[in-house]
Amino acid sequence: MIKYFGITARFNLFKKASTSLSDENLGILVFENTSEVIQAEKILKAHGIIIKVMGPPPKIQTGCDLVISFPLIKELNILRLLKKADLAPQQVVPVTDPLLVPVNLFQSKNFGKFLMVRAANMKITVEIKSQKIVNISGGGCPDVPYLAYKMVGKTLAQAPDPLEIGHTLCGYALSLAFEEIKKQC
Amino acid sequence: MLAVVGTIPENDFPLTTGKIKAFGNELNINKKKVPVNRGTPALLSAMEQTLKTLGNREITSFLAGDIGLGDGSFKLYQYLVDNIADMDIDVIVFHYLQPDVDWHNKIIFRLQELKKKPIIIADAGFMYAAKMSGLAPSYDLFTPDAGELAFLADEKAPHPFYTRGFILHKDNKIPDLITRAYSHGNAAENLLVKGSTDYIADKSGILSSVNSPATEAMEAMGGTGDTLTGIVTALIGSGMEIPEASEKAAMINRLAGFYAKPDPAYPGW
């Protein structure tokens, strides 16, 4: 546990994606937008393929970017699965530069009746007793107000998963906070 | 012209430009109604309220619907690139927009080509693109929160999602992070850092700070950073110097929070 801006924090984002992927023999899948990355991640994980969602190398950064790193040996199978789902990547390139690692900590803050969890730049707050999402804040991408509109006022069980309706890195970060607060509540 | 560029979280909200009129909890732009909740509408509403007190200077908004796909942001970018040369802008603020470096650069270059360079302010997604572009010093003011300041301080991170841990966890971090952001050329001429203490800084360091009244629940509330950016933009638009406007805006936003007596569920759902 560490203290971050006076808030209790712990590392475990992306814990499931173990370090069993070494940087050697890795490729990255580059998609048109973050929504496609999120969909591709779900499909590939559902098929038991070990992948990681990472930040792209500087050469292909454009903005709200994510890429999927994968074992090159699985390339054919992965492309087949994605093609079947109409999610063909824009580019498939071998990893030659270090990939960026997503922020790897959660911060929790208890307000008494309310619990707030932050992942990266996104915060979600829940009324503990009712499990109702009462606030979503932080972030800067345009799906943040949209996600707040769709999720606030609903319980954790009722609320849509940000991975289903979000489109950007902020949406991705919110999905991580959403999963974490479900564990803590 | 006092200009605001941002998005509305609706898929079918068309590209809309025009003067803002506020009616209770709604904004009216060219006969289109927008509820005030968080995001750019909250910024606009706070600006409108501030300007009402200062003498009713008009706000010209440039808005489009965008739920994160970037389509509305890109329409706005194209519109601005095509039309900025004909606008008489003296202050412009960019807000919830899809970060895209290419579009960002086109717009900033257009603004720099104007006879008189306007005061340029960025928050949220456009601030991310500004930092990533390497053109942050072209801006007059950024309004990051503490996490976003860490992102500005991390010369390698293209988005707050990738801020490296050793920067996030540094002790005594705000003054150090400000120094680091300036040393890598990733900060605007002025910074208003939002948080439990608000810091006003420039490349010389921290100029002032505001930490009371303190309303802890504001940290959880969506929209409180948007209102702060709106207030400071309005004050700058009234002719106030940026450091003074930043300090006053921090105090005004805190007082608004203090008198609202919110809990983390505010405004209530």
Residues of B in contact with A6 (CB under 8 A): 196
Residues of B in contact with A166 (CB under 8 A): 68
Q: How many CB pairs under 8 A join A and B?
A: 189
Q: What CATH number corresponds to the domain at position A143? A: 3.30.390
Crossing angle for the helix pair B224-237 and B39-54, to the nearest 10 degrees: 40
B89 phi/psi in degrees, rounded to 5: -95, 130
Q: Which of B11, B27, B67, B227 to mutate to test the interface with A (most CBs of A within 10 A)?
A: B67
Rg (CA), chain A: 17
Same domain, A90 and A112: no
CB-closest option in B68, B169, B265 to A143: B68
Is the pLDDT at A29 greater than 70? The verdict is yes
Same domain, A62 and A130: no
Model pLDDT, residue B164: 83
Q: By the CB < 8 Å criterion, does B99 face chain A?
A: yes
Residue pLDDT, tens place only, A158-185: 999 998 888 888 988 899 999 999 999 8
Same domain, A90 and A110: no
Cα B232 to Cα B253: distance, rounded to the nearest angstrom: 9
**Contact at CB, B161 and A62, closer than 8 angstroms:** no
Model pLDDT, residue A63: 60
Domain boundary among A52, A72, A94: A94
Is the pLDDT at A141 greater than 60? The verdict is yes
Query: Does residue A125 form part of some domain?
Result: yes
Residues of A in contact with B262 (CB under 8 A): none
Model pLDDT, residue B258: 94
Q: By the CB < 8 Å criterion, does A139 face chain B?
A: yes
Q: By the CB < 8 Å criterion, does A10 face chain B?
A: no
Query: Does residue A6 form part of some domain?
Result: no
Could you give the ipTM of this predicted complex? 0.89
Cα B229 to Cα B194: distance, rounded to the nearest angstrom: 10
Across the strands, what pairs with B209?
B199
Cα A108 to Cα A89: distance, rounded to the nearest angstrom: 36
Which helix (DSSP H) or strand (DSSP E) does residue A124 occupy? strand A122-127
Q: By the CB < 8 Å criterion, does B127 face chain A?
A: yes
Query: Does residue A100 form part of some domain?
Result: no
Q: Which is it for strands A132-138 and A122-127: parallel, antiparallel or unpaired?
A: antiparallel
Cα A53 to Cα A99: distance, rounded to the nearest angstrom: 10
Same domain, A136 and A174: yes
Confidence of residue B50 (pLDDT cuts 50, 70, 90): very high
Confidence of residue B254 (pLDDT cuts 50, 70, 90): very high
Mean pLDDT of B182-193: 98
Model pLDDT, residue A18: 37
Answer with the residue of higher pLDDT: A64 or B81: B81
Domain boundary among A59, A94, A129: A94
Q: What CATH number corresponds to the domain at position A53? A: 3.30.70
Domain boundary among A66, A94, A122: A94
Residue pLDDT, tens place only, B195-224: 999 999 999 999 999 999 999 889 888 899
**Contact at CB, A135 and B66, closer than 8 angstroms:** no
Model pLDDT, residue A103: 76
Query: How distant is the Cα of A147 from the closest Cα of chain B, in angstroms?
Result: 8
Residue pLDDT, tens place only, B232-253: 999 999 999 999 999 999 999 9
Tokens 């509820």 -> residue: B35
Same domain, A119 and A167: yes
Please state the domain count of chain A: 2
For residue B195, the chain A residue with the least C-alpha distance is: A5
- The overall pTM is greater than 0.90: no
Q: Which of A137, A154, A169 to mutate to test the interface with B (most CBs of B within 10 A)?
A: A137
Q: Please give the mean pLDDT across all residues of chain A.
A: 82
For residue B71, the chain A residue with the least C-alpha distance is: A142
Answer with the residue of higher pLDDT: B169 or B53: B53
User: Which of A76-80, A83-87, B108-112 has the lowest average pLDDT?
Assistant: A76-80
User: Which of A91-105, A139-153, B56-70 has the lowest average pLDDT?
Assistant: A91-105
**Contact at CB, B68 and A146, closer than 8 angstroms:** yes
Mean pLDDT of B139-145: 97
% of chain A at pLDDT higher than 90: 43
Residue A34 sits at the vertex; the CA angle it makes with B129 and B144, to the nearest 5 degrees, is 35
Residues of A in contact with B99 (CB under 8 A): 63-64, 140-141
Residue pLDDT, tens place only, A55-79: 887 777 766 678 899 988 788 889 9
Whether the CB-CB separation of A175 and A66 falls below 8 Å is answered with no
75-94 in B: which are within 8 Å (CB) of A? Answer: none
Whether the CB-CB separation of B220 and B154 falls below 8 Å is answered with no
Cα B34 to Cα B19: distance, rounded to the nearest angstrom: 13
Nearest by Cα to B190 from B249, B238, B132, B133: B249
CB-closest option in A123, A141, A152 to B99: A141
DSSP B4-69: EEEEES-TTPPPEEEEEEEETTEEEETTEEEE-SSHHHHHHHHHHHHHHHHT----EEEEEE-SSS
**Contact at CB, B161 and A125, closer than 8 angstroms:** no
Is the pLDDT at B170 greater than 70? The verdict is no
Same domain, A90 and A126: no
The CA–CA distances, whole Å, from B139 to A21, A156, B44, B45, B129 equal 41, 40, 20, 23, 12
Same domain, A81 and A126: no
Is the pLDDT at B93 greater than 50? The verdict is yes
Cα A121 to Cα A118: distance, rounded to the nearest angstrom: 7
Q: Please give the mean pLDDT across all residues of chain B.
A: 93
239-268 in B: which are within 8 Å (CB) of A? Answer: 263-266
CATH number of B2-260: 3.40.1190.20
Query: Does residue A3 form part of some domain?
Result: no
Model pLDDT, residue A14: 38
Across the strands, what pairs with A21?
none
The domain containing residue A40 runs over which residues? 26-94
